Structure formats: structure tokens, C-alpha cells
Structure 1
Amino acid sequence: MKQKSSDPRQRLLDTATDLFYRQGYHATGINQVLQDAGVARASLYLHFASKEALLEAFLEYRHNYWFDALKSFTEKPSKPKDKILAAFDFLLDINEKESYRGCAFLNILSEITAQDGEALRIIRDHKKDLRAYFSAILNKEKQLVQDHIYLLFESAMVESQLYANQWPVQEARKMVAELL
């Protein structure tokens, strides 16, 4: 079990990260975050101006965590094809670790509106960064192939969440192997 940080800001962020990802943003109340984090309301507003600011911090934290995990899977292989296939292996791994909860960014996207501009920007930037990451690996491939692989990755993530099953990732991985 992960030990709680002594830093109230970090405890709030760790708790919100867990609750927003598992339960959803709107289903998680500030009182639950405070109680589970063991932090007073005054500490919350000392570190985060609002629940929306806590959401934005969660998204930034998740972006860094997720990309670090993806890179640990894709940095070992040397060939572009093997790096991309390793990205799909990453999806298989994270599905197991996170019980098919899916993409935190798309989950939050389904809960916010255009008025949540900063959260929306972070989500879009995350997806742009993923697409750019794949493009950098696949720089010798046509843009159409790069786009196909990105879209297969995204759809495999969503479908595996929907079915709580690895088959969408496994099938997308096979398609990518054929494309490359």
C-alpha cells in the first residue's frame, strides 16, 4: 500500500487522482477528497483555488505519470515498428494494472463542457503530445500511416475499457504490425 505523504498538497493531489480516475470528476465531492486525504478545507484552498484547479492539477499529474510509463515501454526497442508495438504492450499492461478504467483524459472529457477551458486545453495537449510522440517515432512513415496508428491506439484504449477486455488492444496491435 502506498504511504501517504506528509505534504497536504500532495495528499490532496494523490487522493483526487485516485478518486477522479476511479469515480469520475462530478461523482467526487470536495468533502470526500478532504476526508480521504485527511486535510482541512483551509489547506485545500491554500493549495488549490477551486475544485476545477484540483482537476487541472490531476490532469497535469496524470499526463506526466502516463507519459513516463509509456516511455518506459517504448524506449527499450530500437526499431520504430518495435517501439510502436511496445506502446500497445503498454496499453495491455495499464489495462491490467488499472482494471480497464481507460483513458483518464477521455473519461474527464465526457464530464466537462467548453466552459472548462483549462481542463479542455490540458486534455487536448495530452492528445497532441501523444500524436507527436508517435509521429517522432514514425517520422519515415507517411502521415496517413501515422494517423492510422494514432487512431488505432486511441480506439483500442476506448474499446478495451468498454468491454473490459484486452482483445481490442491485441487486434489493433496486429493491425499496426501489418501496417508497418
Structure 2
Amino acid sequence: MNENNALKNHILNVASDLFYKKGIKSTGVDAIVKSSEVAKMSFYKYFPSKNDLIKEYLEKDCKVLEYRLRAELQKKNICTEKALAIFSYFAELSSMEGYRGSAFINVFIETSMDLEFIKDQSLKFNSTLIKLFYEQLNYDFSKDVSTKMAEQFTQLLIGAIIQAQMKNSCDPVLFAQSTAKELIEKNYAENCYCS
């Protein structure tokens, strides 16, 4: 990594931390410049506006999240267990000190869709979850059933993430996981490809 990319990534990492802890509206360029210990000109060299920085923050977070979830999925052998492992990942996150929910949900709520790219990135987060659930469920269920369940699981999970943040507890995510498991069992009885 060259020095320019290292500095850009440093600014992005510092901003990501501030955005997550304090929110994007409460975090100004001056605070990011001060915390990252760079000149304001350097900041603007890499991020012509705060919106450019927010967009990269959300894009980076989506890539990191998908990478981490795929790593978690590799730890399980049975596909339906992999689908439930997605809930486990978020339950673990929500039990950590300093947990403030999903960056996508937080930014979306904080901005009330002021910017189209925020809506787009939030929908991409949603689509990523649907895709990951679908990939696991499609081994045992038809395309239609897998699609429906993936969407149900995503809605359960997003609601649970919000509740976990509000209650400062992983219990809502574990409850959502339990509900997802019941849906899997119900659909196994009715629609499984298994012999």
C-alpha cells in the first residue's frame, strides 16, 4: 500500500470510528481532521466533501460485513446452520461493549434519506443479507421458498438489530434466531428437498 492510500485509509478509519460512536451529523470535518491528525487540505484531497467520506464509509462497512459473515459461515457444515449463524454473528456483536447497532441502519435513520446514496447503501446492506441467507437456504429449499425465507430472515434480523440497540441486549437477536429456526423446521416439514 502506498503512502497516499495509507493516509486515505487512516482518515477513513478514524472517520468510521467517529461516525459509529457519535453519528454522522454530530461528526464534522474539523473533528475528523483533528482526530486523524492530518491537515485539512489532506482530508479534502482524498474526500472532496463529507458526503464522499460517508459514501466510502458505508461502502467499506458493507464489504467488511460481508467478508466477516462469509468467514462465520465457513465454520458451519449444514446450510441451515449457516443461515442461523448469521443471527449468531449479530447476537455476538450486540453483546459487545460500545455496540451501537448497524452503521447502515444508524445512518439511514439519522439522515432520514436526505441523500440518495445513503438510501442506496442501506438497500445494498439489506440485499447483502438477503443474498447470504438465500445462498444457504437454497441448498435445501426451492428458489421460491428460499427467497421468501431469506426476506423473512432479513426483516427479522434488521428489527432485532434495532431492538438490541434500544435494549442494550443481544436477546432480541437470539429471539429472532429462534423464530428463524422455527420457520426452517416448518418449511422442512412442508418443502424440503431432502429425502
Say whether the fold is shared (TM-score over 0.5): yes
| Structure-1 residue corresponding to 2:178 | 174
Number of residue pairs the alignment of both structures matches: 176
Identity %: 26
| Inter-CA distance 56–98: structure 2 relative to 1 (3 Å threshold) | farther
How do residues 152-167 of structure 1 correspond to structure 2 at under 5 angstroms?
Answer: 152-167=156-171
| Structure-2 residue corresponding to 1:125 | 124
Q: Secondary structure at the match of 1:39?
A: coil
| Structure-2 residue corresponding to 1:54 | 53
Q: Secondary structure at the match of 2:123?
A: helix
How do residues 5-154 of structure 1 correspond to structure 2 at under 5 angstroms?
Answer: 7-97=6-96, 99-139=98-138, 140=141, 142=145, 143-154=147-158
| Structure-1 residue corresponding to 2:193 | none
1:146 Cα deviation from its structure 2 partner: 2.6
Q: Is the 8 A contact 1:100 1:160 kept in 2?
A: no
Q: Secondary structure at the match of 1:7?
A: helix
Looking at structure 1, the residues matched to 115 and 180 of structure 2 have their Cα atoms a distance apart, in angstroms, of: 35
Looking at structure 2, the residues matched to 95 and 107 of structure 1 have their Cα atoms a distance apart, in angstroms, of: 14
| TM-score (norm. length: structure 2) | 0.84
Looking at structure 1, the residues matched to 152 and 61 of structure 2 have their Cα atoms a distance apart, in angstroms, of: 25
1:35 Cα deviation from its structure 2 partner: 0.4
Q: Which moved more, 1:42-51 or 1:124-133?
A: 124-133
1:68 Cα deviation from its structure 2 partner: 1.4
Looking at structure 1, the residues matched to 75 and 121 of structure 2 have their Cα atoms a distance apart, in angstroms, of: 28
Unaligned runs of 5+ in 1: none
RMSD over aligned CA atoms reads 1.8
Looking at structure 2, the residues matched to 158 and 113 of structure 1 have their Cα atoms a distance apart, in angstroms, of: 16
Looking at structure 2, the residues matched to 119 and 132 of structure 1 have their Cα atoms a distance apart, in angstroms, of: 20
Q: Is the 8 A contact 1:59 1:122 kept in 2?
A: yes
| Inter-CA distance 6–98: structure 2 relative to 1 (3 Å threshold) | farther
1:98 Cα deviation from its structure 2 partner: 5.5
| TM-score (norm. length: structure 1) | 0.90
